[in-house]
A = this chain, B = another copy of it.
Amino acid sequence: MLKSKGKIHTKKLGQIPGSIIYTGEKESQKLFIEAFDYSKEHCIEKELLAAEESFEFKLSDSITWINLNGLNHVNEIEKLGNHYDLHPLVLEDIVNITQRPKIDEYENYLFVVLKMLYYDANNKIVSEQVSFILGKNYVLTFQESDGDVFDEVRNRIRHAKGRVRNMQADYLLYILIDAIVDHYFNIIEVLGEKIEDFETAIFSGNVHDSISKDIQDLKREILRVRRAIFPLREVINRIEKHEGTLILKKTKTFYRDIYDHLIQVSENIDIYREMIWSLMDMYMTTISNKMNEVMKVLTIMASIFIPLTFIAGIYGMNFDYIPELQYKYSYFILWGVMILLFIVMLFYFKRKKWL
C-alpha cells in the first residue's frame, strides 16, 4: 500500500492540475450506476447504463440518490459532474483515491470524501475511498468497486423503514456515513482480537521469531486505520457546524451521534497503539527469560560435572607415587565424595531457585 501509493502518485506527476485522472489500480472495473428517487409517497429504483439516464431525476423535487461504482470510468463521472455543475477539482478528487477524509463546502453542494474500511479475503484491511456530493435534494456517491455497506440503506429506502423517506437529502447522507462508521467498529474489534492473540502467544512462549515483524505489521495497520478515521472527526464536526441550508437543524443531532461514535473508535485505536508498543516489551522480557533458563541449565550442568571431572582427572594421573591409589577402598570413598558433592550442588541451586 505504501509503495503503491507512491506509484499511484507518480502517474500524476507533471499532470495539469484539474485533470480528471483515475489513480487507482482497478482499471478494469465495470461501470455500475444505480439511482433511487423517492419521496414520502413514492420510490423508484433503477440501474442505469449511462450517466445521462440519471439526468431526469434532477428536475423533480423528490430526493435522488445516484450511486456510481467504477472510478476508472472518468467520462461518465465527468458527464455526471457537469450535469450537477461540480467544480473540476472536485471531479479530480473523486477519482484520485489517495485523498484524506475531507469536506469541501461549495456554494450549492457539499463534497465529502471518506474511507470505507473492510477486511478482504486474506484478512487484510482494505481501504476504499467513497465520495459524497450532497446537493439540495440529491446525494451522489462514487465508489471504486462493487460491494459496499449500503445494502441496509437501500432496504430502508425501498421499504420505507425508519424515517428516511420522511426526511431530506441531508438525512440520507447521514445514514450512508453512519453505515460506514458502524463498520469501523468491526475493524477495531478485529484489531483488538489480534492484539490479544499476540499477547496470548507471547505469554505462552508459543512464538515464531517472525513475531516482531508481525507486530510491526499490525502497528502499521493500526496507523493506517488511524489515518483513515481520525480526520473524519473533523469532517463530521464541520458538517454539524455547517451554516448553509443543506444541513437541517434537526438532522445535526444525528451527525452529533456519528461524531460520538468516531470519538469512541478513535479512543480505542489510541489504546491499541499503546498496547501494541507494550507487546514488544513483553516479547523482549520473554526472550530474556528464556535465555535465563538456557543459561541456568548450562550453569547447573557445568558447575556439577566440571569439578567432578577434575577429581576423576586427579586420579587418572600417572605419578609413580600417589598414596590413595593403593588403598583398597579409595574408589568407593571417592564415589561417596562425588555423590556428596553432587547433592550439595543440587541443594545450592535449589536454594538459588534455579531448579
Residues of A within 8 A of B (CB): 2-3, 5-7, 9-10, 12-14, 16-19, 87, 89, 98-100, 102, 104, 152, 156, 161-163, 174-175, 178-179, 182-183, 185-186, 188-190, 192-193, 196, 199, 202-203, 209-210, 212-213, 216, 219-220, 223, 227, 253-254, 256-257, 260, 263-264, 267-268, 271, 274-275, 278-292, 294-299, 301-303, 305-310, 312-326, 328-331, 334, 354
Contact = CB atoms under 8 A, between A and B. Distances in A.
Given A271-B227, A295-B295, A316-B316, A216 B17 contact: no
Given A188-B6, A328-B320, A18 B306 contact: no
A265 to B, nearest CB: 10
A156 B178 CA distance: 43
A5 B17 CA distance: 36
Nearest to A264: B100
B280 A89 contact: no
A223 B216 CA distance: 21
A310 B186 CA distance: 62
Given A186-B13, A260-B100, A219 B280 contact: no
6 contacts: A5-B189, A219-B278, A220-B271, A227-B267, A288-B291, A298-B299
Contact of A301 (B19, B179, B290, B306): B306
Pick from A281, A314, A323 the residue with the most CB of B within 10 Å.
Answer: A314
A94 to B, nearest CB: 13
Contact of A318 (B98, B163, B325, B328): B325
Contacts of A17: 162, 174-175, 178, 254, 257
B3 A196 contact: yes
A152 to B, nearest CB: 4
Contact of A286 (B161, B212, B282): B212
